[in-house]
Structure 1
Amino acid sequence: MFQTTAHTPVQSGESLAELAYRQIEEMIVTLSLEPGAIVNERALTDITGMGRTPVREAVQKLAWEGLMEIRPRSGIAIAELNPQDFSKVLDAREGIERVLARGAAQFGAQLHHRRLREASDAMSKAVSSEDVAGFLTADKTFDTVLGQAAGNPFAARLASPLQTHSRRFWFRLQRPGGLQQSVAAHKALIEAIINRNPERAEDAASKLIEHLRVLAP
C-alpha cells in the first residue's frame, strides 16, 4: 500500500526509534501517508521494517507534534492538511526561527558550519536534478543543525514540529520554480550563519518565512 523512501539512511548514533520517526515523518510530509488516512501499528512496522517498540515511540512523538492522532480501537489517523492553516504555522514559526538564526550565527561551531555547507550543497544538487525529496531531506538536516548550532534547546523543541508542518504544506502547495526559490532562501540564511552575522541571519530567516507565505492561500 505504501512505499518507503530511499532518502532516510541510518545516521551515526541514531536509535531505531529515531530512524522510524524520520521514515514515517518523511512519508507524512511527502503525502505517501495521505492526509486523513487511517493506518495501524502493524502496517507501520511493515513499511519501516522496524519493530513495534521503535514504531510506537515514533508514533507517540508524531502524535505530540500534531501529525498523527492515536484513536484507540480504530487506528492511527494521519493529520488532515488544510491549506488555510499554513499561514498560522508560519505565524508561530517566524519569531522562533529568528531566535534560532541569530543564535546559530553567534554560537555555531565549525562542526555546525560543515554540516550546514553539506546541507547547502545537497540543496543545490536537488535543484539541478529537480529532486524534491532530496531537498526535503536536506531541509530536515538544515533544521536539525540550526537548532543545535543556536544553543537554545527550548526554541529548537518549539520549532521542530512547526518546521515539519511547513515542509508538508510546502510539498502540497509548491509551484513551478518553487524549488529553486526555496533553495535560494535557505542558502542565504546558511551563508549569514556561517559568516557569523546575527542581524543578517535574522533578516534571512524572516525572508525565508516571507517566501513560504507566498504559497499560503
Structure 2
Amino acid sequence: MQAEKLEPAATRAYHELERLIVTLELAPGTIATEGSLIDRLGLGRTPVREAIQRLAWEGLVEIRPRAGLAIAPLHPGDWLRVLDARRGIEVVLARSAARFVTRDAANQFHAAALAMQKAVIAADVLGFLAADKALDEALALAADNDFAARLAAPLQTHSRRFWFRYQRDTGLAASAEHHVALIRSILEHDEESAAQEAERLMAMLRAHAEAAATR
C-alpha cells in the first residue's frame, strides 16, 4: 500500500490499463472511451490521458479522435513477429544483467522467481503474469542499459498478452523453469549461460507462437 501511494498516478494508471489489456479484460478490437477508463480506474483525467498516450506509443491502443480508443487486435501470426523483434534484445539484456547485477536487482530477481514458483503451485495464471513482469523489471534494472530496456518493454507486454490468450492453460511449469534458469545464470554472473537461457526462453515462446499461428 505504501508503494502504491508513492507511485505517481500516471504510472499507476499505466500499470492498471496495461494489466487490463494483457488479461483481455479490455478485449482486443473493442472500443473504449477515455471517460470510461477514468471511471474504471478511479484516477484523474491527466494521469489516465498520459497512460493512454504511452500505451498508444507501445501499440496497445489506437487513439481515434472523436471515435474513442481502439484496443489493439490479436492476430496469432503477430506473436511470431513480436518474438523475432524481441529475441536479440533479450540476449543483450541477459548478458548485461549477468555482468552488472546489483544487490537490489538480485533481490528483485529472487522475489520474482519465488512468486513465479508459487504461481505454478497454485495454478495462478494472473500471479504468474505479475511475476513475469516483475522479472522483466528486474532485468531492466540489472542490465544498466536504458536503450535496450525501453525497446524490450513494449515487446514483453505484447508477448505476455499473446501468451495469456493462446498459452495460459498449458505449460506453466515449463515456462517457470526456463525463467528461473535465466535468473539463476544472471545471479551467478555467468554471461554466456544467461545469453543461452534467454535464447532457450525465446525458442520456447516461439514454439508456442508457431502452434498458435497454425490453429
Residue 119 (structure 1) shift: 0.4
- 2:45 corresponds to: 52
Pick aligned residue for 2:71 from 78, 82, 94:
78
In the superposition, the TM-score normalised over structure 2's length comes to: 0.94
Which residue pairs with 1:16 in the alignment? 9
**Distance in 2, Cα, partners of 1:128 & 1:180:** 8
- What does residue 149 of structure 1 align with? 142
- 2:190 counterpart of 1:197: yes
Distance 1:164 1:213 in 2: 15
Opposite residue 67 of structure 2, the aligned amino acid is S
Paired position in structure 1 for 2:101: 108
| 1:169 alignment partner in structure 2 | 162
Q: % of aligned pairs identical?
A: 54
User: What is the alpha-carbon distance in structure 1 between the residues aligned to residue 159 and residue 46 of structure 2?
Assistant: 28
Question: How far apart, in 2, do the equivalents of 1:197 and 1:191 lie?
Answer: 9
Within the candidate set 195, 199, 208, 1:215 is matched to: 208
Please point out which of 115, 125, 129 is paired with 1:132.
125
Q: In the alignment, which residue of structure 2 is the partner of 1:87?
A: 80
The amino acid of 2:119's aligned partner reads A
Q: Residue 127 and residue 82 in structure 1: after superposition, are their counterparts in 2 closer, same or farther (change >3 A)? A: same
Superposition RMSD on alpha carbons, in Å? 1.4
- Paired positions, count: 210
Distance of 1:113 and 1:12 partners within structure 2: 24
Structure 1 position 13, deviation (Å): 3.8
Q: List structure 1 runs of 4+ shifted beyond 3 angstroms.
A: 8-13
Q: Flag the 1:175–1:133 CA change in 2: closer, same or farther, 3 A.
A: closer
Structure 1 residue runs without a partner (length 5+):
1-7
